[in-house]
Chain A
Amino acid sequence: MLRIENLSAWYGEAQVLRDVSLEVAAGEVVTLVGRNGAGKSTLLRCVMGLHSGQRGTVELDGRDVGKLPAHRRARLGLGWVPDDRGSYATLTVTENLTLPPRVGPDPWSLERVYEAFPALYTRRDSAATMLSGGEQQMLALARVLRMGARLLLCDEPTEGLSPLLVQQVGDLLREAKRHGVTVLLVEQNLHFATGVADRHYLLAEGRVAEAMDNSEVRSRERELLAYLGI
């Protein structure tokens, strides 16, 4: 579904991605792990079309989308779940959910979102930034599901959440996967990552250092945690 080849990216003079190549098949959940500054978020931004200094190939369903602006990529089925949760202070919860157009074959209805997240329903007319951090994370995920996105780009969706909410995020991603949604996930929580994902890429200094499956991550958990500095 997603193919990245020889992707390099810069912030001004500083190169943050160096010839990254990776693939995500339809229906897969794949994580990017790595230290802070390894280039994980930049990689997601490049896929979404939000980073300007880049070179290389980004293909979606075999189509080169590297030159397309972000809004066109979104309409091809990319769902953006940013690390700051992307809540709009000037939009209500309902407006935050209904802002993106429906793009995929299987979008959630607003009713289904509110059934799954009663907390969002009770706060539906409040400004989204008045929600708790956990609720805002659910809002960010619910938004791309309502959109019907086929490939979710999630930047650390569990960061700063309580264990209960982390589990909820996991349930949600597993349910999305059951419905054929593909996920590319930046994640530091290895336990969470092995619980939801099929495969993992370790990014180090802007390169793909290793590709691992779940069993490999579990068996090397201690070594990896030490490497990640967690």
Chain B
Amino acid sequence: MSGFAQNTFNGLVSGAFYALLALGLAVIFGMLRVVNFAHGAFYMLGAFGAYVLLTEAGVPFWAALVIMPVGLGLLGMALERAVIHRLTRLDPLYNFLLTFGLTLILQDLVKLRYGVQSSPYATPSLLSGTVNFGLFDFPTYRVFILGFAVLLCVAVWWVLTRTRIGMVVRAATERPDLTRAFGIDVGRWVTPVFGFGIGLAGLAGVLAAPMRAVNPLMGADLIIVVFAVVVIGGLGSIFGSVAAGFGIGLVQAWGEAYLSNFPIVSQTIVFIVMAVVLLWRPAGLFGREEAPA
């Protein structure tokens, strides 16, 4: 029983990362109709930034947790203004070329300076140790990640469903042209929303630094699963991306624990789930078929 609880807990923790990344991809896709293949690179930059801040300037984890998301969010906004916004009128292929190209540039810039080996990042002292929930001891830091990510998802959900800004973002995401016809300057919201999505990726990166190896390719490894998550949840669906994020974290953890005799299955289970979901619901679990413009 305690083994199951442990697997479930670990699944939820990886799910928290998937959820944060998929949430950012979902709001960006919803508002811009751009699939941001560079999302993993910003996650990596978040982790690397925290590492560099600590080792070269002595900036602690807690400060990095604020500095990196804000800084990367601003960088994202600048990139949106400089290049991303040009994608709206172009063939989707350019979307892939630009954002994937950005990924390679960002990764290689980091490689150039720091090489490809992984760097350790110490768990902040306040969160070291374990918490006992009766069944067994959970690492405090992982408990923190899970709680923090859930809180953040709830906060985003609250803003989206309970505030006027959220209402405008939902309307603009669902039907951009129609929303313009109702007097709302949809374009004004595009840059901040892109920056917000990138900021979330950066935040996930900082959170990952103490528990995952910090290296230039850490985002590239993760982002493939995150794209499966986004597709399973329904491209552009905010709720779907979060639910599928945690769900896929669980499926992966349970698969690794209980299907370890079938490595072919346990290693590809995410994509098996994705294929089954798409056969059953082509728009994803919570996605809608595109409405006519």
B178 with A82: CB separation less than 8 A? yes
Contact A70:B180 (CB < 8 A) given known A91-B170, A99-B167: yes
Measured between alpha carbons, how far is A208 from B175 in the docked complex, in Å? Answer: 31
CA distance A69 to B186 in the complex (A): 11
Residues of chain B at interface, number, CB under 8 A? 20
Does A101 belong to the interface (CB within 8 Å)?
A: yes
A174 to B231, CA, bound (A): 48
A-binding residues in B (CB < 8 A): 167-168, 170-171, 173-175, 177-186, 288, 291-292
Complex CA distance for A31 and B184, rounded to whole angstroms: 27
Q: Which residue of A lies closest to B168 (CB)?
A: A99
- The interface size bin for chain A is 20 to 34
Q: A-B pairs with CB below 8 Å: how many?
A: 68
Q: Is the interface of B mostly helix, strand, loop or mixed?
A: helix
Interchain CA distance A72-B292 in the complex, whole Å: 23
When C-beta atoms are compared, the residue in chain B nearest to A100 turns out to be B182
Known: A50-B177, A70-B177, A82-B178. A88 touches B171 (CB 8 A): yes
C-alpha spacing A229/B272, complex, angstroms = 52
Q: List 29 A-B contacts (CB under 8 A).
A: A50-B180, A69-B180, A70-B177, A70-B180, A70-B181, A71-B182, A74-B182, A75-B183, A78-B181, A80-B178, A80-B181, A84-B292, A86-B175, A86-B178, A88-B170, A88-B174, A88-B175, A88-B178, A89-B174, A89-B288, A90-B170, A90-B173, A91-B171, A98-B167, A99-B171, A99-B179, A99-B184, A100-B183, A147-B182
Q: Cα distance A98–B246 when bound, in Å? A: 34
A59 within 8 A of B: no
Question: With A71-B186, A84-B292, A89-B288 in contact, do A50 and B171 touch (Cβ < 8 Å)?
Answer: no
A48 to B177, CA, bound (A): 11
- The docked-state distance in angstroms from the alpha carbon of A172 to that of B28 is 39
- Name A90's contact: one of B171, B177, B292 (CB within 8 Å): B171
Hey, which chain B residues are within 8 Å of A70, CB to CB? 177, 180-181
Given A90-B170, A91-B167, A95-B167, CB of A100 within 8 Å of CB of B175? no
With a cutoff of 8 Å between Cβ atoms, the chain A residues found around residue B181 in the complex are 48-50, 70-71, 74, 78, 80, 82, 86
Q: Does A165 contact B (CB under 8 A)?
A: no
Q: Which of B173, B182, B185 contacts A99 (CB 8 A)?
A: B182
Q: What residues of chain B lie closer than 8 Å to A95, measured between beta carbons?
A: 167, 171
Q: Known contacts A86-B178, A88-B175: does B185 contact A71 (CB below 8 Å)? A: yes
List chain B residues, Cβ under 8 A from A74.
180-184
B183 touches A103 (CB 8 A): yes
- What's the minimum C-beta distance from B255 to chain A, rounded to whole angstroms? 33
A75 CA to B180 CA, complexed, in Å: 10
